[in-house]
Amino acid sequence: MVIMTIHITNLYGQSPYSVALMSQNLVSDIGKMLGMKEIGIYYYDSSKENPASLRTRFDGMNAAVAHGDTIVLQTPTWHPTEFERAYLQQLRAGYDINLVLFVHDVPPLMFSGNFYRMPQVIETYNMADVIIVPSEAMLRVLRENGLTVKKVLLQHMWDHTTPLSWQTPQFEKLVNFSGSPERFQFIKEWKYDLPLHVFAAPNAKLEAPASTVIQEEWKFKTELLDKLASNGGFGLVWNQTEDSEYYSLNASYKLSTYLAAGLPVLVPATLSNKEIIENNHLGFVIHSLEEVPEILNKISQEKYDGLVRNVKRFRVLLNEGYFTKKVLIDMVHLLFQNESDQ
């Protein structure tokens, strides 16, 4: 009897503050709950590794892979595109496998200066049997740039399986934001008479003239959720200074962090999954930061408490990993059923 194994890659070696590391670890952990086997990919400067050495490395990574297995590559691996393409080519040449790409981010779209690499990235994506992308908007852009994979799934949202804070957020006229002050110019330009609590890595430089900008000590996992819940108020998702249009394509990890903490959210109207916020009444969709003071000054205790109840109900999906479980299970069905049977 032939048994098919599903393998899923996982990133190692980046900073513990790396969202890329956290998100890949999350997906891999949920995949392992579903019986998948992990393939570790270490982060290092692979640009200096010669082809023979790379092939040997790949052989070691694939030691447990057998004919007929399924490989889920979480991408980007944050190695050069050539690394990913060489790895997939070696898999295709050596094994009769099913290949799935779980796209977290698309670097040529994240950083406009790298857009010239888009053809190579699309060439790599087109090697897949199934591709998972964050949003319909992302899929549209990839199609416009040459993506031909027929079997596609949408992720929609990040999970957050950290044990929950059971503290109920209180109605406070303040905003919480998780992100680097260097990447988000609005922190330095904050001019509102409302506290902005900024959670950033310890080495982050917070140069904000406003006395209402408060730098919080960075915390991990449950401690972070507890602190966010203790602060109360709202969690803010906002565009970074450069390449801000990318938020209309990707899935925001910090959005799920706020919701996991029990906080209602303020999100930009360009956010790829804003409909989830609107349809589940989890906060407010805004077009400008100028709307924030008006919302916080007008909202009633009753309205805020209602939002908190909605978030409490919704966050069960995130804490139990149901968005990731669903897309990984749907992936298996999509691989092994005809399109007419979907």
77 annotated as a binding-site residue:
no
140 annotated as a binding-site residue:
no
Alpha-carbon distance of 254 to 260, in angstroms, equals 10
| Alpha helices (H) along 194-321 | 221-231, 253-260, 274-279, 291-298, 301-319
* Identity of residue 248: S
272 annotated as a binding-site residue:
no
- For residues 121 and 106, the answer to whether their CB atoms sit within 8 Å is yes
* Identity of residue 56: T
256 annotated as a binding-site residue:
yes
Alpha-carbon distance of 342 to 337, in angstroms, equals 7
- Give the CA-trace dihedral at 118, 121, 123, 128, to 10 degrees: -140
Give the residue from 238, 262, 233, 232 showing the smallest Cα distance to 252. Answer: 238
Token pair 């691996």 is found at 77
255 annotated as a binding-site residue:
yes
**Range list of β-strands (E), the chain:** 6-12, 37-42, 70-75, 98-103, 130-133, 151-154, 175-178, 196-199, 213-216, 234-236, 265-268, 283-286
241 annotated as a binding-site residue:
no
Q: Both tokens of residue 77?
A: 């691996």
47 annotated as a binding-site residue:
no
Q: State whether residue 196 is helix, strand or coil.
A: strand
Alpha-carbon distance of 72 to 58, in angstroms, equals 15
Q: Report the 10 Å Cβ neighbour count for 45.
A: 8
Annotated binding site for UDP: 183, 252-257
Annotated binding site: 183, 252-257
